[in-house]
């Protein structure tokens, strides 16, 4: 008499199912509350993933950018999947824009303030602003700041956030050591 095999009852199928159900599926944060509710390690990984994708848009490969920022390419594809596109050759390239949450800092009248944005275009504006601020403070050239004067950043709630363009206030904060150019990304995730 021949025994019939039941589908899905083999030992390997049971182990695969157990492994699959035991892993929690990562949900991308959409708000600052969700971002700061993540465990510290996941917050750091999330911030690194968004930076890797930004560097990929500047021409770096995923491998180079992830190695530079100390995050695995597997984590980048897992967390940043919505911002990436897989080519026919199996490589990942960044989409032109994305809606990943980024918690960034900006100078304000009261010092550095965080702003959460969920569009890569808003993060780009903030990046250009920081470059202009650095150029002004290092070289004394405010031309880029003047070009950006009317720019605002829209945060995750849809509120327009004004950037600080008061040159004297920027100088004061720089001399007080408030402005740091290592990273525009928010408090150490």
Per-residue pLDDT at 26? 77
Residue with tokens 């491998």: 63
- Pick the residue with more confidence: 55 or 5? 55
Q: Where residue 17 falls among pLDDT bands split at 50, 70, 90?
A: low
Q: How many CB atoms lie within 10 A of CB 9?
A: 8
The C-alpha torsion from 158 through 50 and 99 to 151, rounded to 10°, is 40
The pLDDT > 90 percentage for the chain reads 72
Q: Are 35 and 41 in contact (CB under 8 A)?
A: no
Q: Residue 67, SS3?
A: helix
The pLDDT > 70 percentage for the chain reads 83
Per-residue pLDDT at 37? 94
Q: Where residue 187 falls among pLDDT bands split at 50, 70, 90?
A: low
Smallest CA-to-CA distance from 107 within 160, 188, 181, 158 is with 181
Low-confidence winner among 19-23, 91-95, 169-173 (lowest mean pLDDT): 19-23
Whether the per-residue pLDDT at 178 is higher than 80: the answer is yes
Q: pTM to 2 decimals?
A: 0.78
125 is written with which tokens?
């504006």
Low-confidence winner among 5-19, 27-41, 71-85, 89-103 (lowest mean pLDDT): 5-19
Per-residue pLDDT at 188? 46
Cα–Cα separations (whole angstroms), residue 167 to 106, 146, 154, 174: 14, 10, 22, 11
53 is written with which tokens?
């994708």
pLDDT of 104-159, one tens digit each? Answer: 999 999 989 999 999 999 999 999 999 999 999 999 999 999 999 989 999 999 99
Looking at residue 105, the DSSP 8-state letter turns out to be E
Whether the per-residue pLDDT at 3 is higher than 70: the answer is no
Per-residue pLDDT at 184? 62
Per-residue pLDDT at 189? 46
Task: Give the start-end residues of each E strand in 30-122.
Answer: 84-86, 92-94, 102-108, 111-117
Q: Are 77 and 53 in contact (CB under 8 A)?
A: no
Q: Are 154 and 162 in contact (CB under 8 A)?
A: no
Q: Any idea where the domains of the chain sit in the sequence?
A: 32-94, 102-175
Contacts of 102 (CB under 8 A, 6+ apart): 47, 50, 116, 117, 118, 123, 185
Q: Rounded distance, CA 155 to CA 53, Å? A: 20
Q: Where residue 162 falls among pLDDT bands split at 50, 70, 90?
A: very high
């Amino acid at each position: 008499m021949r025994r019939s095999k039941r589908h899905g009852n083999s030992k390997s199928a049971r182990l695969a199912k157990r492994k699959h159900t035991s892993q929690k599926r990562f949900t991308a944060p959409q708000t600052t509350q969700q971002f700061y509710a993540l465990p510290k390690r996941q917050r750091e990984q999330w911030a690194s993933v968004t930076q890797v994708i930004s560097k990929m848009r500047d021409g770096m490969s995923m491998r180079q950018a992830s190695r530079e920022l100390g995050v695995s390419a597997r984590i980048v594809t897992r967390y940043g999947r919505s911002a990436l596109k897989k080519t026919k050759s199996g490589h990942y390239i960044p989409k032109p824009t994305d809606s990943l949450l980024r918690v960034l800092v900006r100078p304000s009248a009261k010092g550095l303030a965080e702003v959460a944005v969920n569009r890569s275009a808003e993060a780009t504006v903030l990046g250009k602003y920081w470059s202009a601020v650095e150029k002004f403070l290092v070289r004394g050239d405010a031309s880029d700041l003047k070009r950006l004067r009317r720019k605002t950043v829209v945060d995750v709630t849809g509120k327009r956030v004004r950037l600080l363009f008061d040159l004297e206030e920027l100088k004061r904060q720089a001399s007080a050591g408030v402005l740091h150019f290592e990273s525009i990304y928010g408090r150490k995730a």
